[in-house]
């Protein structure tokens, strides 16, 4: 990204006396786009989510039988409608750390015959009342594709194969007939399957080193594909970026050893603001982009030697990402109310930054799953009395409903800043970022319409910006949507929606240039036709 001006945090005080950057620097910022400069097709699976048997995500979240707010399936109707509003493309299930001691057979069949188990990942009792068939029903109810994770910790490759058989084979073999016996005559045809979860982390039950993981994953993939040849497989990439870890070794080994068989490598990232430093926090999506670039290079090298037949190259799936730092003490990570994070405006802006990263790297990132869907570090929060949409709900909704088609390669010319050295989040490595652009931007082009998303990271100043089309002219009016609030710590609650998407007055556009002032600490989406 082109940057012509550098601003250091220590110098920002001088800007407090000026209404905008144009007065300080004598020129506007610039965003230039050309509809012929295409990065790649935006995959609908960038707008996925994640459900784990953790805290109140399942029980008391999406599923609460007996509640007056639930339907005949036990699904919370208010939550279901909120989830529909996110246009969730696919939902990953059942973990997460949970899956590494989960045996899917415990969660099928008559509910009165299901056996409760100790849930070792998050220190709770798993009743198994909600399992495979209930999850598939939920995906159908919200219009999402199911994405199942197999147990590569305490589980076996045979167990993984049998789950594929249960889900995807119409009739004949034992587990297909078992599904039919359970009342589901037609196969589910589950397309996406991950080979374990975070197997590089020492916290994972059944933790393996890279070499042993890929040996097991390769054999599991073989059996699963022999059962259902058209499934898509996701390998567990690194989630361990702690100071002592070697994530590059894990990722390189996984990519090289599984290059012929898997379709994606999964990466995870959680960030936070424990030091209450706004500018450091808003820079965290850059680290995701840097990690993407490193893995992209590994994939490119491995694909030169891969034998994949007519399958496309391996892609990246960021199938866990979010802001998570408040609910990270031992007490808040266990039990029935684990990981109940409450979000504010600055969290929503970071999520907007993550989504911009996905769009800017649409050629290699083909899947993303926010963790998680309800209650547990989630965009939807529910209690017995009702639910509300957290601040992070709105960037997800805005992108999922609008950012489609082809991702555009932009030129962004704007002021920048440098961060301090800081921890990305608990359990993460330190980083120090230079030349962080105040304007974080992505754009898509679809059916003659351009959509531009801009996060203005500046805490106090609007940034006046020339938006320049280099391949035509704007046609009439531009639609403007904005996520903002007077206070960066503004949050939502039951009956209180301080942070949401607001439609701003249309902007008349003429010729190839329009000038717009992006408000401080905001996410803005601009839609317009190009002629």
Q: Which residues are catalytic?
A: 198, 320
160, 257, 464 from 314: Cα distances, Å: 22, 12, 40
Q: Token digits for 13? A: 């005080």
Residue 378 CA to residue 430 CA, distance in Å, equals: 25
What ranges make up the beta strands (E) of 24-89? 29-33, 38-41, 48-50
Which residues touch 330 (CB under 8 Å, ≥6 apart)?
A: none
Among residues 293, 169, 164, 318, which one has the least CA distance to residue 234?
318
Among residues 192, 205, 194, 218, which one has the least CA distance to residue 266?
194
Q: Token digits for 351? A: 């999520």
Long-range contacts of 208-216 (CB under 8 A, 24+ apart): 208/152, 210/249, 210/250, 210/253, 210/254, 211/253, 211/257, 213/152, 213/254, 214/253, 214/254, 214/257, 214/258, 215/257, 216/152, 216/157
- SS3 state of residue 184: coil
Residue 213 CA to residue 476 CA, distance in Å, equals: 56
- 464: β partners: 517
Among residues 433, 301, 322, which one has the least CA distance to residue 369?
322
Residue 383 CA to residue 495 CA, distance in Å, equals: 13
Q: Distance between alpha carbon 340 and the CA centroid of its chain, in Å?
A: 18
- DSSP type of residue 375: S
Is residue 323 left, alpha or beta, with left meaning phi > 0 and alpha meaning psi from -120 to 50?
A: beta
Residue 478 CA to residue 58 CA, distance in Å, equals: 41
Burial 252-276 (b: 16+ CB within 10 A, else e): bbbbbbbbbbbbbbbbbbbbbbeee
Residue 58 CA to residue 322 CA, distance in Å, equals: 18
Which residues touch 298 (CB under 8 Å, ≥6 apart)?
A: 248, 251, 252, 255
Which residues touch 23 (CB under 8 Å, ≥6 apart)?
A: none
Residue 323 CA to residue 269 CA, distance in Å, equals: 9
Residue 357 CA to residue 296 CA, distance in Å, equals: 13
């Amino acid at each position: 990204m082109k940057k012509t001006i550098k601003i250091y945090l220590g110098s920002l005080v001088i800007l407090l006396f000026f209404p905008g950057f144009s007065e300080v620097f004598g020129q506007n910022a610039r965003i230039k786009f050309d509809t012929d400069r295409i990065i790649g097709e935006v995959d609908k699976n960038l707008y996925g989510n994640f459900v784990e048997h953790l805290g109140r995500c399942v029980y008391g979240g999406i599923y609460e039988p007996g509640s007056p707010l639930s339907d005949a399936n036990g699904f919370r109707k208010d939550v279901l409608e909120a989830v529909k509003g996110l246009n969730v493309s696919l939902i990953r299930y059942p973990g997460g750390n949970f899956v590494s001691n989960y045996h899917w057979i415990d969660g099928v069949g008559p509910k009165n015959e299901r056996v409760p188990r100790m849930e070792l990942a998050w220190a709770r009792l798993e009743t198994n009342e909600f399992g495979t068939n209930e999850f598939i029903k939920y995906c159908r109810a919200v219009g999402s594709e199911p994405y199942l994770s197999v147990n590569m910790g305490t589980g076996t490759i045979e167990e993984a194969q049998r789950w594929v058989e249960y889900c995807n084979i119409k009739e004949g073999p034992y587990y297909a007939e078992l599904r039919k016996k359970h009342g589901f005559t037609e196969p589910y045809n589950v397309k996406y399957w991950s080979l374990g979860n975070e197997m590089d982390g020492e916290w994972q039950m059944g933790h393996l080193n890279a070499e042993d993981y890929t040996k097991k994953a390769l054999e599991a993939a073989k059996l699963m594909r022999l059962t259902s040849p058209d499934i898509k497989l996701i390998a567990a990439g690194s989630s361990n970026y702690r100071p002592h870890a070697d994530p590059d070794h894990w990722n390189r080994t996984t990519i090289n050893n599984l290059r012929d068989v898997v379709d994606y490598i999964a990466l995870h990232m959680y960030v936070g603001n424990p030091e209450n430093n706004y500018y450091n926090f808003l820079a965290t999506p850059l680290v995701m982009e840097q990690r993407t670039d490193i893995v992209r290079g590994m994939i490119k090298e491995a694909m030169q030697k891969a034998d994949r037949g007519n399958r496309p190259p391996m892609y990246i799936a960021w199938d866990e990402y979010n802001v998570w730092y408040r609910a990270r003490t031992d007490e808040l990570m266990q039990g029935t109310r684990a990981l109940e994070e409450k979000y504010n405006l600055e969290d929503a802006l970071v999520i907007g930054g993550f989504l911009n990263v996905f769009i800017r790297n649409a050629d290699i990132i083909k899947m993303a799953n926010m963790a998680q869907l309800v209650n547990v570090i989630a965009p939807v929060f529910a209690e017995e009395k009702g639910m509300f949409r957290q601040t992070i709900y709105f960037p997800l909704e805005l992108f999922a409903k609008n950012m489609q088609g082809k991702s555009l390669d932009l030129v962004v010319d704007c002021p920048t800043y440098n961060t301090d050295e800081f921890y990305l989040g608990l359990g993460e490595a330190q980083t120090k970022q230079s030349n962080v652009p105040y304007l974080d931007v992505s754009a898509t082009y679809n059916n003659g319409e351009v959509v531009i998303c801009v996060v203005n990271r500046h805490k106090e100043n609007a940034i006046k910006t020339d938006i320049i089309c280099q391949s035509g002219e704007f046609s009439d009016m531009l639609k403007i949507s904005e996520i903002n609030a007077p206070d960066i710590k503004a949050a939502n609650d039951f009956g209180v929606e301080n942070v949401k998407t607001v439609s701003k007055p249309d902007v008349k556009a003429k010729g190839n240039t329009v000038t717009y002032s992006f408000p401080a600490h905001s996410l803005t989406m601009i839609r317009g036709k190009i002629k």
